[in-house]
Every structure is written in C-alpha cells, then in structure tokens.
Amino acid sequence: GRDPHRRALVAALATARVLVPIMAVATETGTTAHGLTGDNGADMAMVSITAPDGTTVLPLFTSVDQLSAWRGDARPVPVVAPQAAQAAVQEGCTALLLDAATPEAEGGPVLLPRSVLWALAQGREWIPPHEDGELAAELERVGTSASPAVLGLAARAGERAEVDLHLRLRPGLTAEQVSAVVQLVTQGLGESQLVAERISSMRLVLGS
C-alpha cells in the first residue's frame, strides 16, 4: 500500500528497544485427591494474537503504560526490535502490531506486515516492495521462467493489497492460454522465498 511514513518508522525500529509481553503458561498439571486439576509449574512465554484471517501477530509496545493498557497481567520484557522480530519468525508470526491499545482516534495500533517483519529479523533496510531492486529482478525471473508468453512482471504500490503485480503477456493469446500462464506465474510466485519474505499481500493484474 501507499504509506509514506512506514519507511521512516521501520528505520527507527531497526535500532529501537521495544517491550514484548510475556505471560506465565502452565507446563505441568496435577490432580488432587478430590479430583481437581491444578498447575504444578509454569513457564514464561511470549503473548501472540490470532488475527481474524488466522494469521499470528506479535504485539510490541513502546512503553509500559501502553502494554498495561492492553493487558495488565502481561510482563514487559525490553528487547531491541530486530531481536523481537527474530523471535516472532521462530514462533510462526507473520506480522507485528505496535501499541495494540492505541485508540483509533489517536491513529490506532500500527500493523507491520510480513515484509517489515522479515526485514527487521534479517537486519536489513526495509524497502517498499515496488521500489525493491532485488525483488524486481526476482519477479522478472519468475515471469520469464513461467512462460515465454510473459513479457513482464512488475510490482507497483497497491490500493487493496501491499502491491499490485502487473503481468504483461504476448498479444493474441486465447482465454485458455492466458489462464494457463497466470496459473504458472502464480505457482512460481508461491515457490519464491524472496517473494514470500518481501511481499506481505499481492494482487495479480493483467495489463501494462
């Protein structure tokens, strides 16, 4: 999408300390003589959020007050943001949520998608996908590898998704041929690790 402030925010996070919420989780259970089950032990674990679409998000906070407003029973652990991102990747998270308790009237929480998460975790500068030269080369490779009918595959800032992928095809193809090529391109995109790391959401668009 088009967010002129996100690049500056991610650059600041690259060296910033944030608070990761952790909570006690039961590791052992025991049964009393009366048949009641209770916790015998507990470990501290990061708290994650399951989004409506089923993805897992790691909440991060810029202050103790922000974290407490979200969950008073969570304990803050200060870490540098790249370390938090690495932990999020290991836990299977696909995004970061900054200051989850911020009211919508004050700008709301900031969702940092997978492309930002991976950039922080890998210690590299986050570049918007439609400005990323390495990604542009990978998209061109995916397109030309999929079919000789592909004339170009390029990322542009998206409106409904993070990027629109514009697919240019050789003129004169039948509807069946176009469908087959789109399927091959989609398959190639799904197999690319670079695409997975640097594009959070995409929409394939036929045209120039």
Q: Could you identify the residue written with the tokens 């439609």?
A: 130
* 5-26+43-122 homologous superfamily: Uncharacterised protein PF11572, DUF3234 (3.40.1350.90)
Query: Averaged over 89-114, what is the pLDDT?
Result: 89
Task: Yes or no: say if 135 and 192 are a contact pair by the CB < 8 Å rule.
Answer: no
Give the whole-number percent of the chain exceeding pLDDT 90.
Answer: 69
Give me the amino acid identity at 53. Answer: D
3-state secondary structure of 17: strand
- Higher pLDDT residue, 9 or 6? 9
Can you read off the two tokens belonging to residue 32? Answer: 């009393």
The answer to whether residue 35 scores a pLDDT higher than 80 is no
Question: What φ, ψ does residue 100 adopt, rounded to 5°?
Answer: -65, -20
Task: Yes or no: say if 126 and 7 are a contact pair by the CB < 8 Å rule.
Answer: yes
Q: Which residues pair with 165 in a beta bridge?
A: 155, 204
Could you give the residue range(s) of every CATH 3.30.70.1350 domain in the chain? 129-206
The answer to whether residue 2 scores a pLDDT higher than 80 is no
Could you give the residue range(s) of every CATH 3.40.1350.90 domain in the chain? 5-26+43-122
pLDDT at position 55 is 84
Q: Which residues pair with 21 in a beta bridge?
A: 76
The answer to whether residue 148 scores a pLDDT higher than 90 is yes
pLDDT at position 34 is 45
The answer to whether residue 30 scores a pLDDT higher than 50 is no
The answer to whether residue 142 scores a pLDDT higher than 50 is yes
Q: Quick one: fold of 129-206?
A: Alpha-Beta Plaits (3.30.70)
The answer to whether residue 183 scores a pLDDT higher than 80 is yes
Mean pLDDT of the chain: 88
pLDDT at position 156 is 95
pLDDT at position 4 is 58
